[in-house]
A = this chain, B = another copy of it.
Amino acid sequence: MKTEHKTPVSLETLTALCKRRGFIFQSSEIYNGLNGFWDFGPLGTELKNNLRDAWWQDMVRNPPLGPDGEMIDIVGLDSSIIQNPKVWAASGHLGGFNDPMADCRESKSRYRADHLMVYVPESGEGTAFAFLEGEPSVAEKRIKKKAKSDPSAYKVVPYNELDPALIPTVWGPDAQEPGTLTEPRQFNLMFKTFIGAMAGEGDENTAYLRPETAQGIFINYKNVVDTMRVKLPFGIGQIGKSFRNEVTPRNFIFRSREFEQMELEWFCHPDEATKWYDFWVQTRLDWWESLGVDMRNLRRRDHDEDELAHYSTACADVEYQYGFTAPGFGELEGIAHRGNYDLSQHQEASGTKLEYFDQETNEKFIPHVIEPSSGLSRGVLVLLNEAYTEEFVPKGNTEGGPLLAEPGTRPPEGYESRVVLKFAPRLAPIKVAIFPLLKNREELVNKAKDLYADLRKTWPVFYDQTGAIGRRYRRQDEIGTPYCVTVDFDSLEDDTVTIRDRDSMEQHRIPITELRSWLQSKLV
């Protein structure tokens, strides 16, 4: 049963909650942070680990049945972040992994040239006004004030595509006068470092932090085939950190400079690549749905032909309606049909044969590859967006269930607000909270602690004895704990406890002896 479609939460609200409740902190915060880097706090770490483990379980250890109902096989890998720099020459990242940038000579700001837009006079004469995509207001004010004109007399052109002859007429977003922006130039997104013995900062010692985990799979393809008794088709999955020196990191953990990926390379016969491409696009959409993501917030976007790399015949994004993109969508995952490009490039550059020999057909060929490439950090952002819910609940919590509320609105008479993170139980950072009804009654505290000691052998459990039970429930709602268990005076008599459900807010009693198996059945 689908519920009402929630209004997406704003990034400001989500970021504040994440900091306040220990999900995600600005990195190096006590040193005023570092732009584009984030640290996962205790709850964010558990949430991220749960998403990581769900992908590993559902993609590597127990992948779904294939398009013809057959079992398929996928193995895992964990390659290093720093690889031989020849990897990046062969993959094309050293030559082509660039963003166009433009600098403002006056304000010293740097812009992604493809995110910079310009109001150009329709007449072709006079000053043009630049603005950051989505933020036209400063430029519009200037048009009115400085050019004594109206934005409707201007057309919008990406800075990237502007006639270079017009660049001296452009007024930069942060500038005090026109003509301070440089022409766009290319900027490589790989972080550079220097390795080892000679340690000088010379070319021969230069290496790079990987900008994707995928190449680590391609360069180990032969080792995996030689050692793991795998036969085509099969997949290699990897989860790990990647680094991109983004010109303008933004939108919380959506575009950060250090992030985690979950990537699968699916190797298959060229004739079967299209079948597998279709399979993986659908499978990945289904997977996000299986984690509780509302399909109204997900969409498949097939790339236009002119978006595709020259070697690719198809690519689709799984997009999500983030709070900061709504009503539009932003990327969550890409599924690319990469042909045999990567293996061919590495075969040529390394001189190592990467062909597959099919013993049954006596055929030798370079496998084609379908690549479902997902962001783990970005996935966490989706889970947080998706889970965040504001509700009105009857005061005193006596009767009636919670009602979905418009974020930021005030409750009607007789109701109060609550914030609840509706994570699927499988993904919730804390599975169960244990409360003694009162903290100053030793027998309640002892019994609750015994329960805590027992349950935390199996699940992440939170123990809380401070404040009224209602407040303790709210604290757990706000971090998405599916079940709260209270030890009260009846528990001392009959060995039962109260279980309270996060979403329905309903409570029921259960014998302690049955608690484990009850939780086991719910926490999957």
Contacts and interface: CB of A to CB of B under 8 A. Distances in A.
Contacts of A453: 71
Given A41-B220, A49-B76, A192-B201, 11 more contacts: A27-B79, A30-B352, A31-B84, A31-B86, A34-B83, A37-B82, A39-B77, A39-B78, A41-B77, A45-B77, A110-B198
A87 interface: yes
A20 interface: yes
Question: Which residue, of A209, A223, A350, has the highest number of chain B Cβ atoms within 10 A?
Answer: A223
> Closest 10 A-B residue pairs measured CB to CB?
A28-B84, A22-B227, A42-B75, A40-B78, A30-B350, A39-B79, A31-B84, A30-B352, A45-B78, A45-B76
Contacts of A457: 62
6 contacts: A20-B227, A30-B350, A31-B350, A34-B83, A45-B77, A193-B193
A203 to B, nearest CB: 12
Given A223-B25, A227-B19, A81 B195 contact: no
A269 to B, nearest CB: 21
Contacts of A334: none
Contact of A187 (B35, B199, B249): B199
A11 interface: no
A34 B195 contact: yes
Given A22-B228, A457-B62, A464-B229, A39 B194 contact: no
A257 B73 CA distance: 32
A38 interface: yes
- Number of this chain's copies in the assembly equals 2
Contact of A22 (B20, B49, B224, B350): B224
B28 A87 contact: yes
Nearest to A475: B229
Interface string A31-57: 111111111111011101100000010
A75 B461 CA distance: 11
Interface of A: 19-22, 25, 27-42, 44-46, 48-49, 56, 61-62, 71, 75-84, 86-87, 110, 187, 191-199, 201, 207, 209, 216, 219-220, 222-224, 227-229, 236, 241, 243, 245-249, 257-258, 346, 349-350, 352, 449, 452-453, 456-457, 459-460, 464, 466
Nearest to A57: B457
Given A62-B457, A199-B245, A223 B32 contact: no
Given A29-B223, A223-B22, A227-B21, A449 B71 contact: yes
Contact of A78 (B44, B81, B194): B44
Nearest to A79: B39
A61 B227 CA distance: 35
A277 to B, nearest CB: 24
Nearest to A245: B196
A216 B38 CA distance: 11
Contacts of A46: 76
A81 B48 contact: no
Contacts of A41: 77, 220, 223-224, 227-228
Question: Which residue, of A32, A45, A229, A464, has the highest number of chain B Cβ atoms within 10 A?
Answer: A45
A258 B30 contact: no
Contacts of A196: 35-36, 245-247, 249, 257
Contacts of A456: 61-62
B192 A39 contact: no
Contacts of A34: 80, 82-84, 195, 207
A276 to B, nearest CB: 20
Contact of A42 (B35, B71, B224, B248): B224
A195 B245 contact: yes
